[in-house]
Structure 1
């Protein structure tokens, strides 16, 4: 699914090529998806679109579902929200943190699947660039220090009661794996888990002499190993099962990166020179690279920051907003460009749904 600069949303079915127009949202500053719902955040709230396609992960197999796409409505709030999703689109919850107001809410995913926006939890804290991320029946929410910077994590239950805490200086970036919830910190990450008892917040420090911290994470949905990028020419790999970090140096600085976390250990990187590179997680060797793919996009500082990468079990998808296309790349076959997709609208914001 793509949303252009004016907020026009449209979807392309990768199986049969069917195009679907989804109407218009307010021009978003940030777009997030859990694989079904699309959360388009602007300065005044988050508009939600149900793509109508989703997957239920049973770990050893998957069930795939299809319904009708629909616009579900808006969650109003102050400032461009940080949205944190879970593993399932029809169960659990989705977190939204509004930085200008300090409002943190959880939405009921089961209600969303019925077309209803229902808040199961609302917390009002000091305004800051924060996070609320679902964990079990509750959530993990950031707390600001005296300077207004997220510095501490609080695990709360469904009523908002505090159950556990952990320090997390300059908290930024979150992702949920099958192991647990990850929140990035200036000195490493916190991996939060909950098995129905008291939540456990475990600090995973960076190795001594670490490079710049990761401020965002991405991976094939649910997989234990995630890729984190910061400002250096390289990618952090966090194994949430082993609770270990590994540094993967790259030939060029990185725009986006995602860990496939398959048997071959593929890590896909979009470099600042416009190439898509594939690395071996174990050997750190570059296995393949494409030619530069997006010269027009990289010539625009605004659009260069909008390049999106998403990976699934067999393909990587990379948006080139200025060129108006999305590249489908077979990362296991020498970074071969399998298809160049033209979506019904300019892919300034891109998400992959149905996964």
Structure 2
């Protein structure tokens, strides 16, 4: 996968809960992300008893490093081009550089088998480049199966990468389509992907392409599509009036609309973020608002933080924590159920010039990089947003993510 001390701090939120409109069909069973072969095993990697959590960092010049969060050891992996953006699925880092999208394999991953997990540890490596320009990257739930989508807005090239090949160290394109240049996306789904369709540069809908790039079925309406994420339930794509949720049943794709609720006038969601493979995700709504989308219940809720925010992430844990990075550099913790602010840190990062600053959340901790100081803060968000550790990384964390998830 965004300065100043505020004059006033709002300690609570206004919460409105609504249900999705549209289909009356009963929700489909949650997707089984662990349906691939071999439970995520790859030749040369070791299966271990616990997740191999690391911080993988990239500095301004492209030097890649890795810090083991369990053992405390660190290493430098290599060097790519100078990045302008980085996305991740919890194993790979997809870095947009002057050559296109360069891919870093952290060598650490988790296979989600639905009711249990398998954990693997391998060697980090640089895999190669998907040639193109500025890119939008969308990832799936598994690093050794399925696919990753890359869309180059300037050229209109829609690319689908084979994750099984990535796991074997090869950058292999399942398809590369030439479509109308626009601000689009390729969202991995099933054996293929949803690709935005544009008319005169404006997105009107989504087409489902199989692994060969052929269109299957009719276009799915989704005006001005923006933002996509894979949840435990299915694939979400944001639209001007809500979201499309794509699910599979007996190998057949299905598409549901989750409309924004009536009676709430709030800016739409443009990008989604949440703990990996959880059903509920979060999105900014204008400057101070937060949309929460529960894909299991097909419902939206809206919070008003009352302070300007830069990023929001749904932890979707048992206590329903929602985390936000405000524009003063504080991490704030809210309760999704009633909108109450539970905790806030002091300002931790200067956001006046910090393109790669990111807030990453797992089941127990949140991580926030401070590029100017060369550190990443580890935050116990369930314990009053306590700073558990301040970690020095082997390369400056201009961009980073937590890998092994």
TM norm structure 2: 0.83
Q: 2:157 aligns with which of 103, 113, 118?
A: 103
What SS does the corresponding residue of 1:216 show, helix, strand or coil? Answer: coil
Q: Give 1:194 shift.
A: 2.0
Q: In the aligned structure 2, how far is the partner of 1:240 from the partner of 1:24? A: 39
Other-structure match for 1:199? 253
| 2:167 pairs with 1:113 | yes
Other-structure match for 1:344? 394
Q: In the aligned structure 2, how far is the partner of 1:123 from the partner of 1:57? A: 30
Other-structure match for 1:279? 334
Q: In the aligned structure 1, how far is the partner of 2:357 from the partner of 2:331? A: 12
Q: 1:158 aligns with which of 195, 211, 220?
A: 211
Tell which structure's C-alpha radius of gyration is larger.
Answer: 2
What SS does the corresponding residue of 2:164 show, helix, strand or coil? Answer: helix
Other-structure match for 2:140? 86
- 1:276-297 CA distance string (max 9 Å, x none): 1110010110011111112xx2
Q: In the aligned structure 2, how far is the partner of 1:343 from the partner of 1:163? A: 48
- 1:32-86 CA distance string (max 9 Å, x none): 1111111111243111111010000112221110000111111101x21111110
Q: 2:85 aligns with which of 14, 23, 30?
A: 30
What SS does the corresponding residue of 2:256 show, helix, strand or coil? Answer: strand
| Higher normalized contact order (CA 8 Å, seq sep 6+, divided by chain length) | 2
What SS does the corresponding residue of 2:83 show, helix, strand or coil? Answer: coil
Q: 1:315 aligns with which of 365, 375, 392?
A: 365
Q: Give 1:122 shift.
A: 2.1
**What residue ranges of structure 1 are gaps of 5+ in the alignment?**
none
Aligned length: 348
Q: Runs of 4 or more off by more than 6 Å in structure 1?
A: none
Q: In the aligned structure 1, how far is the partner of 2:249 from the partner of 2:166? A: 24
Q: Give 1:231 shift.
A: 2.5
- 1:148-183 CA distance string (max 9 Å, x none): 022211112223223242222221111101111111
Other-structure match for 1:136? 190
What SS does the corresponding residue of 1:110 show, helix, strand or coil? Answer: helix
**What residue ranges of structure 2 are gaps of 5+ in the alignment?**
1-55
What is the CA RMSD across the aligned residues, in angstroms? 1.3
Q: 2:123 aligns with which of 68, 91, 116?
A: 68
Q: Give 1:329 shift.
A: 0.5
